[in-house]
Structure 1
Amino acid sequence: MSQDIQIKKGLDIKLKGAAEKVTEKAKSSNVYTLIPEDFHNIIPKLSVKVGAKLKAGDTVFFSKANEAVKFPSPVSGELVDIIRGEKRKILAIKIQADNQQEFVDFGSKDPKAMKADEVKDYLLNAGCWPFVKQRPYDVIANPKMEPKAIFISAYASAPLAADYDYVLAGKEKELQVAVTALSKLTPGEVHVSVGKNSNSPFSGLDNISLHKVSGPHPIGNVSTQIAKIDPINKGEVVWTIKPQDLVIIGELLLTGKFNAERIIALSGSSVKEPKYYTTKIGADISSIVEGKLNEVESRIISGNVLTGSNEGKKGILRYYDNEITVIPEGNDYEFFGWTKFVFNKVSLTRALTFSWLFPNKKYNLNTNTNGEHRAFVLTGNYEEVFPLDIYPMQILKSCMYSDLEEMENLGMYEVAPEDFALTEFVCVSKQPHQEIIRKGLDLMLKEIG
């Protein structure tokens, strides 16, 4: 049964450089990299040493707090380097790929015949558990807990985001097997949200509760959907998973192989021909963008422009990302920029700006912040782009002065850093909202658990 969800608060940032719906195979990367920092709140413990020969799916490291949570190699090859930082903290693990890929055989399974514990043990053993994240705290799910529901957002509303309907086309079999397996892990529903007018591969699947969503960004954020469908109360847990990770889980169940391949969007105004590419998790970004960028100084982002990480050409495709965005680097300054009429920027206000007159215009924005860091200023802009029934400025301030009781009362259990990407974008004070929320969640996880 479908349940429509519509929001009015939010902001669509329309940028030039959307990926054309054409898919090519990216150049194979020589080295694939795992970055433990991608797995928040995980302290890695290595299970192999430099020089070890690995197959795709072999465990590279596991969580020190829970040894059952394993992190596999995306390719077969040789572990060639372990980069460490202060106090020997593991920063990156590099694997040189073989020309001919070999896979660990975990055995194919029929999820319909499996019990919940069997599904859980299978996903843990094969290294697919890191794809399952939990709310509250937006961390890898605790396999010892039972979620009241599982949420999957199959509609991406972020700027230049990959079109899930396109990248998942033809993957109905893998998706069905994956959601059937996940449905065994919760007494509640597996909620899937798709675009209102989309032709989604999820539309005809069983074992899901389908929801059609519409409205501006952040309607694609899973937090927005959770709040509208089944809000989180204190003591409750829900799990979330991204659609392309479902394909990996589904293929694992069908073939017994951990295949870290995914289709990503290479987009942005600094890309000559934005389109989709087939690559693997942890690939060098240079293998994807080389020869495909305009001759201007640009910022290469793994992820979208609101929540992604600045990687550069020497960076990697991060574990949970399915897009690489390239936009001009904003290292120029406008003389008396604050006094001029502005026609080429996005703004919520009508003071000397005119983006509100052209709602469908696409912009070539750069990375300039157009302002400097200062104390919070009361403008009311946050509330215009924040659709959750939460006071955004108050919850940000409670995180800054670490008032746990106030954070709880204001709804901290319902949010993740990505939910504050838009408030950060419109913030005239240039405060790092996502960083503030992440630190607040970490404090709650540590003190409350």
Structure 2
Amino acid sequence: MSKSIKLSKGFDIKLAGKAEKKIANIEQPETFALKPTDFVGIYMPKVVVQVGDTVKAGSPLFYDKKMEKVQYCAPVSGEVVEVKRGKKRKLLEIKVLADKQVEYEEFPKYSVSDLANVSREDFTGVMLKSGVWPNIIQRPYGVIANPEDTPQAIFISAFDTNPLAPDYDFIFKGQEKYFQAGVDVLRKFTSGSIHVNVNGKEELSQIFAHAKDVVVNKFSGPHPAGNVGVQIHHLQPLNAEDLVWTLTPYGVIQIGKLFLEGIYDATKVIAFAGSEVKNPQYYQTYSGACVNKYVESNTKSTEGIRVVSGNVLTGEKIKKDGYLGFYDHLVTVLPEGDVPRFVLSDGWLAPTFKRLSFHRAFGLFSFLNSGSKEYVLDTNMNGEERPFVMSGAFEKVVPMDLYPTYLLKAILAEDFDEMEALGIYEVIEEDLALCEFIDVSKHDIQSLLREGLDMMRLG
């Protein structure tokens, strides 16, 4: 049964530089990369290519020794030009010099009517080999799903409330057929519901309006209303013995395209946004694209900026010639916080309309400062790590029935029973990212939460 849920807790971070809904023409990047660091829970990636090898889109580049059946595949065709490693030979990325015309590995191709007659085992085998399986994330823990598991339900968040988030209706326009095909494939993996959760404040997108065999739920409220973890909490709260899968619409579309077209298509439309971008707009490219051409041609300056693959809350800092993350549809460019932000004339306690702040030190000014105003924020933390302050603020930005402060303290104490009792199975990093943003103690809350999740998962 569909539900309509309105959330009051949360906080919208309105940043300047949202992408205009147009796709700009630009020469495609020369290199693309697949980064094992994008995939949470990988134990020990094993590289299956060497420098100089030729690959096609959908050719395996590495697999995880702990789950060998899941192949991580090249997004484009071309020549492997670098297998980059870090400390202790940790695999960082595999770079491919792209062909001008992408060639694809061939996989079984079906008509829409044929999909109903294909078994789960056949679907699984192709998905594991082709590179689409890493789109499926299991909860609890937020790691790549085990193909041997059967989820109780599948959840798809069809909107994004993160700062400068791309417009899903725009970037997935015309993909209705592939989305439905992906749903038809996923139906073979669960006897439970497939939930498609949409933005209750906007008109239902055509991509999801006519989807069959799904439960469409409406969520409204400030960020993190678009987080699938928040949505699961209000639809089907998780305990230790529960297991569900989550996907983005892109993942569903990619699965559908795999079986209707017989190829691993890593094409994606990305938003290039932020206050330091001259013309915030969209580009069509492939997963793992090098961002250097976008940075060089469309930023106000190439100095004093930070480039983030993803959004400012959960994204990864990358170099100006770094690579787009596997799950990202956004590149954010903002000022680097390497210049002192406050001087005597405008100290950190001075009333001002210029700063975005969740903590209302000056109630009237904070009220006047709210609304539709967009802000230019840099990366300065404005302070150093200090003892954990019990302010009660975290509970105001997490629209879930749990106590984030006590959960984080239980992780610090390595108290397994308390972590479980306080709801650690219901959250991953993105669900507490706002806590990190407003934290007056300046803790790396997302990393701390991941430590706790790994403790529970690995024992």
Q: Per-residue deviation at 1:383? A: 0.9
Counterpart mapping for 1:407-446 below 5 A:
407-446=419-458
Runs of 5+ unmatched residues, structure 2: none
Q: Does 1:356 align with 2:360?
A: no
Counterpart mapping for 1:80-91 below 5 A:
80-91=81-92
Distance 2:452 2:106 in 1: 41
Segment drifting more, 363-372 vs 169-178: 363-372
Distance 2:45 2:286 in 1: 22
Which position in structure 1 is the counterpart of 2:387? 375
Give deviations 1:325-344, integer Å, cap 9, x for gaps.
11111222212422311321
Q: Is the 8 A contact 1:342 1:352 kept in 2?
A: no
Match of residue 163, structure 1, among 161, 167, 183: 167
Match of residue 180, structure 1, among 176, 184, 187: 184
Q: Is the 8 A contact 1:120 1:185 kept in 2?
A: no
Which position in structure 2 is the counterpart of 1:199? 204
Q: Per-residue deviation at 1:289? A: 2.6
% identical equivalent positions? 44
Distance 1:111 1:344 in 2: 55
Amino acid at match of 1:17: G
Amino acid at match of 1:82: V
Q: Is the 8 A contact 1:25 1:279 kept in 2?
A: no
Which position in structure 1 is the counterpart of 2:332? 325
Distance 1:230 1:26 in 2: 44
Match of residue 146, structure 2, among 124, 139, 142: 142
Amino acid at match of 1:344: K
Which position in structure 1 is the counterpart of 2:249? 243
Q: Does 1:346 align with 2:352?
A: no
Segment drifting more, 124-133 vs 348-357: 348-357
Q: Is the 8 A contact 1:15 1:268 kept in 2?
A: yes
Q: Per-residue deviation at 1:356? A: 2.6
Q: Does 1:403 align with 2:432?
A: no
Which position in structure 1 is the counterpart of 2:63? 62
SS of aligned partner of 1:125: helix
Which position in structure 2 is the counterpart of 1:273? 279
Which position in structure 2 is the counterpart of 1:50? 51
Q: Per-residue deviation at 1:394? A: 0.6
Q: Per-residue deviation at 1:348? A: 2.3
Q: Per-residue deviation at 1:2? A: 3.2
SS of aligned partner of 2:67: coil
SS of aligned partner of 1:68: strand
SS of aligned partner of 2:27: coil
Q: Does 1:335 align with 2:346?
A: no
Q: Per-residue deviation at 1:173? A: 0.3
Q: Does 1:27 align with 2:27?
A: yes
Which position in structure 1 is the counterpart of 2:14? 14
Give deviations 1:50-80, integer Å, cap 9, x for gaps.
2111111011111101211100111111111
Counterpart mapping for 1:65-144 below 5 A:
65-109=66-110, 110-144=114-148
SS of aligned partner of 2:270: strand
What TM-score do the two structures reach when normalised by structure 1? 0.97
Q: Does 1:292 align with 2:298?
A: yes
Q: Per-residue deviation at 1:352? A: 3.5
Distance 1:62 1:426 in 2: 38
Distance 1:85 1:21 in 2: 38
SS of aligned partner of 1:332: coil
Distance 2:258 2:148 in 1: 22
Q: Per-residue deviation at 1:355? A: 3.5
SS of aligned partner of 1:166: helix
Q: Per-residue deviation at 1:25? A: 4.0
Distance 2:337 2:352 in 1: 16
Q: Is the 8 A contact 1:26 1:279 kept in 2?
A: no
CA-based RMSD of the aligned residues comes to 1.3
Distance 1:243 1:319 in 2: 14
Distance 1:74 1:202 in 2: 26
Distance 2:219 2:149 in 1: 29
Match of residue 194, structure 2, among 176, 190, 195: 190
Aligned length: 447
What TM-score do the two structures reach when normalised by structure 2? 0.95
Q: Per-residue deviation at 1:26? A: 4.0
SS of aligned partner of 2:68: coil
Change (3 A) 1:87 1:331: closer
Runs of 5+ unmatched residues, structure 1: none
Q: Per-residue deviation at 1:260? A: 0.6
Segment drifting more, 220-229 vs 108-117: 108-117
Distance 1:323 1:307 in 2: 11
Distance 2:187 2:354 in 1: 47
Give deviations 1:176-223, integer Å, cap 9, x for gaps.
000111111011011011111233111111021101111000000001
Q: Is the 8 A contact 1:111 1:119 kept in 2?
A: no
Which position in structure 1 is the counterpart of 2:309? 302
Distance 1:123 1:104 in 2: 13
Q: Is the 8 A contact 1:300 1:324 kept in 2?
A: yes
